[in-house]
């Protein structure tokens, strides 16, 4: 096979399977790859040479709940307050935008979540059995309890100090990915650190992709790592 034919074939394969490379990357390398893509998308002269032609790097398709979403219209123009907020947020992409206050996760909180959801698994609600049989030697918080605490941990539900006061409506659009690298043991203190990863204009507003890490006080590994989508409407 000639080199030119080989390159053409690889180009076709990559076009048919856009997620293949990212899926094989480790989480750490994936962050660098995403940052590289974001910078490349905003560079007017960036391209890659293949088979004698220059092809502009296209934005990675959004995936919500495992379903690829249609590409957002690049011709969308924002006006008024939406345009002003977009410009402000665009300048913050890649930056840490929020560090939350420490929050104690005690047994009462865990039991309350178990009562609300019906998840009374002993590793969460039975301290005596957990002390004897669990590898963690104590009860641990439900993973979904950690997710349920995100609005509080990220400061996005403060009535007296709203994150986006000029937005008519703020909607949780979903989560692109969720991981629980380390268990949150009872009586741990946790907080969230938020980084703005991407800002996209949509019809009537703005879509934000945030990378959130839930820290556990005194523990090197995070209790939860999330990619969260939020939509602002004006």
CATH of the domain at 103: 3.10.129.10
Do 27 and 124 have their domain in common?
no
The tens digit of pLDDT for each residue in 143-185 reads 999 999 999 999 888 878 888 999 999 999 999 999 999 999 9
> Residue 23 is part of which domain span?
3-59
Do 52 and 87 have their domain in common?
no
Q: Would you give the end-to-end CA distance of the chain in angstroms? A: 56
197, part of any domain: yes
| pLDDT at residue 64 is higher than 60 | no
Q: Is 189:222 a contact under the CB 8 Å cutoff? A: no
Mean pLDDT, residues 50-66? 44
Do 94 and 193 have their domain in common?
yes
| pTM of full prediction above 0.85 | no
d(CA 230, CA 228): 7
Do 18 and 95 have their domain in common?
no
The SS3 assignment for 34 reads helix
Do 161 and 54 have their domain in common?
no
Q: Given this model, what pLDDT does residue 91 score?
A: 93
Do 103 and 155 have their domain in common?
yes
227, part of any domain: yes
Cα angle: 149, vertex 152, 155; to 5 degrees: 145
Do 131 and 30 have their domain in common?
no
208, part of any domain: yes
Do 157 and 194 have their domain in common?
yes
Do 84 and 55 have their domain in common?
no
**pLDDT, mean over the chain:** 82
75, part of any domain: no
Mean pLDDT, residues 112-117? 98
70, part of any domain: no
Burial pattern 110-119, b for ≥16 Cβ within 10 A else e, equals beebbeeeee
104, part of any domain: yes
Do 102 and 218 have their domain in common?
yes
21, part of any domain: yes
The number of residues in the chain equals: 234
Do 55 and 87 have their domain in common?
no
Q: How many domains is the chain built from?
A: 2
Do 53 and 88 have their domain in common?
no
Q: Using pLDDT thresholds of 50, 70 and 90, give the confidence band for residue 23.
A: low
More confident residue, 177 or 37: 177
Report the range of poorest mean pLDDT among 8-22, 75-89, 99-113, 189-203.
Answer: 8-22
Return the H-helix or E-strand segment holding 88. helix 80-90
64, part of any domain: no
């Amino acid at each position: 096979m000639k080199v030119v034919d080989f390159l053409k074939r690889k180009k076709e394969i990559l076009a048919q399977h856009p997620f293949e490379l990212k899926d094989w990357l480790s989480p750490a390398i994936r962050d660098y790859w995403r940052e590289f893509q974001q910078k490349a998308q905003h560079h007017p002269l960036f391209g890659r040479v293949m088979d004698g032609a220059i092809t502009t790097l296209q934005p990675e398709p959004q995936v919500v709940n495992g379903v690829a979403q249609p590409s957002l219209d690049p011709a969308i123009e924002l006006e008024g307050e939406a345009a002003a907020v977009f410009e402000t947020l665009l300048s913050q992409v890649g930056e840490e935008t929020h560090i939350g206050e420490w929050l104690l996760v005690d047994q009462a909180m865990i039991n309350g979540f178990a009562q609300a959801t019906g998840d009374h698994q002993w590793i969460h609600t039975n301290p005596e059995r957990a002390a004897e049989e669990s590898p963690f030697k104590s009860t641990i918080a439900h993973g979904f309890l950690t997710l349920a605490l995100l609005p509080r941990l990220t400061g996005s539900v403060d009535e007296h100090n709203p994150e986006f006061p000029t937005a008519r409506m703020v909607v949780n659009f979903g989560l692109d990915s969720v991981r629980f690298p380390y268990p949150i043991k009872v009586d741990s203190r946790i907080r969230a650190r938020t980084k703005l990863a991407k800002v996209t204009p949509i019809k009537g507003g703005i879509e934000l992709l945030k990378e959130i890490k839930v820290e556990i006080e005194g523990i090197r590994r995070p209790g939860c790592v999330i990619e969260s989508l939020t939509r602002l409407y004006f």
